[in-house]
Amino acid sequence: MPQDAMHSIPSAVLVIIHYHEGTPFVFLTKRSAGLKAHSSEISFPGGKHAEEDPTLLETALRETQEEIGVAFSPSDIAGSLQAVRTMTSNHYIVPFVTVQDMLPKARISESEIENVLDVPLIRTLKTIEPDKEHFRLSKNAYRFTYNGNVIWGATARIMKQLYDSLLIRPS
């Protein structure tokens, strides 16, 4: 674990890429307005590491099943992206990635998740722009938009990694 992450809260998310008629989509969640931290924000399914989780991968898998009712196993994981830190809550987040042909319908945990957004990946990545509102918190602040939903913060920095690795260019 990098030195700056030693005093952060370890967390993990699952980037679920799947296909509809040959087009890649990604699952994002809109967090419940009643949550103490990051309420109503757009995020990947996942959360804080629990003592019973042997690894951060297990955290991502457990939290994904709790939040959206879709179960994955470690063998479903293609790899991970670079860890990111939240700007406001001191979480150190490891994003794991799975690529699936199709997924079952999500069954959301209404206490944690308001809605699941099934986002067309490439079209959403092309909406990248500097996040001027949060630039004071991070010089690497970006934002993406989908159907009026603003994706910012750690989730946007994970999306930026997908953007960079897929060599997407804005429209």
Summarised one tens digit per residue, pLDDT across range 91-109 is: 899 999 999 998 878 887 7
- Tell how many helices (H) and how many strands (E) occur in the chain: 3, 11
Q: pTM value? A: 0.88
Q: Is the C-alpha dihedral spanning 87, 72, 15, 5 positive or negative?
A: positive
Place of tokens 């991502």: 60
Instruction: Kindly give the parts of the chain with pLDDT less than 50.
Output: 1-3, 35, 38-39
pLDDT of residue 145: 95
* Percent helix, strand and coil across the chain, each to the nearest 5: 20, 35, 45
| DSSP H helical ranges for 69-152 | 121-125
pLDDT of residue 138: 56
User: Distance between terminal CA atoms of the chain?
Assistant: 37
All domains of the chain in start order, with CATH: 3-120 (3.90.79.10)
